[in-house]
Amino acid sequence: MTEVLARRGYHGPATEEAIEALHEEMEALWGDASFVPDVDRMTFATAVIEAAGNIVQHAVPAADKPVEIDVDISVRPDRLVARVSAQNAREPFANDMRAELPDEEAESGRGLALIEALVTTVTFERQDGTNTWILTRESTPAQTD
Amino acid sequence: MQFSYEVKDSYAEVKGVGRLNMVAAPKLREVVAEVVAGGSSRVVVNLAETDFMDSSGLGALIGCLKAARQAGGDLRISGVQPQVKMVLELTNMDRVLTAYPSAEAAFGND
């Protein structure tokens, strides 16, 4: 098991409030793990917000219960890992999983392509009514003088 | 995110302070629609104090650009910060949404 140097998370209804709360959790995480280089913070936070935003905008409840979002972000010695889950959600449509950039005039559809450009690996899992995107980005502590 | 705007001689400047994410994106569309409806179709969105943008924020900027062009004008952006620059470049939208160092410079040569 890889050592976890810092960890933050969020759980709640898949609403816009979750997005703002996640921004705050990540700010706190970088406060706890100040050795994470700026470029890695910027890219990884963008990918996590894209994944969470995708759930808030597109996840469809599987039953009567509303979709809930669950996020776990950890800083490891050699990488950043985020598990971004939609609970009580239907399986996403294939259309929502497209990673190509749309044409210039399009006002949506860039999220997944952006995530793929920002992280090292993107993995999707579906288990017991939960869709989980696992994002990792290779990152080693910034060198200090 | 807080938006404000100011109508100048040859353009209108819309300023956004905070994060241009899915929460703020509809507000930006509303503000720019109001500016364009008020007769200013040359719009600069000043992003000097916008420290974050996601794909829904980008989508809103593209929608606002189309609205400004349909009204015979244009939409340009200024004061782009590193995270916003990164999102524009990774989506190849830096070619469509032209970034200027300042709001004054955006329509300076027109």
CATH of the domain at B6: 3.30.750.24
Residue B24, classified by CB atoms within 10 Å of its CB into exposed (0-12), middle (13-18) or buried (19+), is buried
Q: How far apart are the first and last CA of chain B?
A: 30
Say if A38 falls within a structural domain: yes
d(CA A44, CA A26): 10
Instruction: Return all residues near B32 (Cβ < 8 A) that are at least 6 apart.
Output: B14, B43, B45, B64, B67, B68, B75
Mean pLDDT of chain A: 91
Q: For chain A, which residues lie within 8 Å of any Cβ of chain B, measuring from their own Cβ? A: 16, 19-20, 23, 42-43, 45-46, 49-50, 53, 56-57, 101, 104-108, 110-111, 113-114, 117-118
CATH of the domain at A85: 3.30.565.10
Q: Smallest Cα–Cα separation from B47: which of B94, B101, B7, B91?
A: B101
Say if B106 falls within a structural domain: no
Cβ-defined contact of A19 to B83 (cutoff 8 Å): no
Task: Please tell me the total count of domains within chain B.
Answer: 1
CA distances from B98 to A49, A72, A117, B70, B106 (A): 25, 36, 21, 17, 9
Say if A134 falls within a structural domain: yes
d(CA B15, CA B6): 8
Say if B109 falls within a structural domain: no
Helix axes A111-118, B82-90, angle to 10 degrees: 110
Say if B92 falls within a structural domain: yes
A43: chain B residues, CB-CB within 8 Å: 86
pLDDT at B14: 97
Say if A36 falls within a structural domain: yes
Q: Are strands B42-46 and B12-20 parallel, antiparallel or unpaired?
A: parallel
Task: Please tell me the total count of domains within chain A.
Answer: 1
- Torsion sign (Cα): B41, A106, B99, B22: positive
Instruction: Return all residues near B98 (Cβ < 8 A) that are at least 6 apart.
Output: B76, B77
- Domain boundaries, position A130: 6-138
Summarised one tens digit per residue, pLDDT across range A84-136 is 999 999 988 665 566 788 888 888 889 899 999 999 999 999 998 899 999 99
Say if A1 falls within a structural domain: no
Say if A114 falls within a structural domain: yes
d(CA B64, CA A105): 11
- Domain boundaries, position B90: 2-99
Summarised one tens digit per residue, pLDDT across range B40-55 is 999 999 999 999 999 9
Query: CB–CB of B13/B103 below 8 Å?
Result: yes
pTM score: 0.93
Summarised one tens digit per residue, pLDDT across range A65-86 is 999 999 999 999 999 999 999 9
